[in-house]
A and B are shown apart, each in its own frame.
Chain A
Amino acid sequence: KNEVEQSPQNLTAQEGEFITINCSYSVGISALHWLQQHPGGGIVSLFMLSSGKKKHGRLIATINIQEKHSSLHITASHPRDSAVYICAVSPGSARQLTFGSGTQLTVLP
């Protein structure tokens, strides 16, 4: 069993829909990251969470440490949100990350 599980693996939505991507992990962590990767490979760090909830624009990330679960929400989705979203956890050092396999999101106009 992978230490970090993401669901769904693939997600297709219509523009404007509310999107949720889930991440479950099995190890104790000091932090959880949500990353966005566009075609071509570039990765952008969206959030780093150790507790609670963070919001940036149309993106919201939550974490429940007791349940070892995090969610990434996108409100009013747009075709430019199409990308792979990756959950990663830090069991110790903030940069020694264990990654999920990613969720491919496609938002159709």
Chain B
Amino acid sequence: KAGVTQTPRYLIKTRGQQVTLSCSPISGHRSVSWYQQTPGQGLQFLFEYFSETQRNKGNFPGRFSGRQFSNSRSEMNVSTLELGDSALYLCASSPNRDSLYFGAGTRLSVL
């Protein structure tokens, strides 16, 4: 079974641009969650989706948004990028409450 796939793996953008990151969960997993990791703040929860519905959102500004499609694939979007948005963005999928499988992440650099 293929693991959680995140694309692209690396991305360079400039301030003010927007970016879309993609996450394909493990086949059969209906839950997708997103996390941001920075050197200063560590790991922080962004969103959680289940069956195309956002269940929870972390303490991030409205510039951060996401969605989940009927095939469970998920995207997150960051508009009007700021230097502080430079981070490793991780996606995880779950088949149930007890398991969490992470993707390799997308490393975003904002210049």
Residue ranges of A at the interface with B (Cβ–Cβ < 8 Å): 31, 33, 35, 40-45, 48, 86, 88, 92-102
Contact = CB atoms under 8 A, between A and B. Distances in A.
B107 A97 contact: no
B7 interface: no
A98 B55 CA distance: 16
Contacts of A41: 37, 88, 90, 104-105, 107
B42 A96 contact: no
Contacts of B35: 97
Interface stretch (B11-19, B60-68, B69-77, B93-101): B93-101
B105 A94 contact: no
B83 to A, nearest CB: 20
Per DSSP, chain B at the interface is strand
Contacts of B45: 95-98
B55 A93 contact: yes
A101 B90 CA distance: 16
Given A45-B100, A95-B100, 12 more contacts: A33-B100, A40-B104, A41-B90, A44-B102, A45-B99, A48-B99, A93-B48, A94-B94, A96-B33, A96-B48, A99-B43, A99-B44
B58 interface: yes
A93 B45 CA distance: 11
A43 B88 CA distance: 11
B56 interface: yes
B47 to A, nearest CB: 9
Contact of B104 (A31, A42, A93, A95): A42
Interface in B19-59: 31, 33, 35, 37, 42-45, 48, 55-56, 58
22 contacts: A41-B88, A41-B105, A42-B105, A43-B90, A43-B92, A43-B102, A45-B101, A92-B56, A93-B48, A94-B94, A94-B97, A95-B45, A95-B55, A95-B92, A95-B100, A96-B56, A96-B58, A97-B35, A97-B43, A99-B42, A100-B42, A102-B42
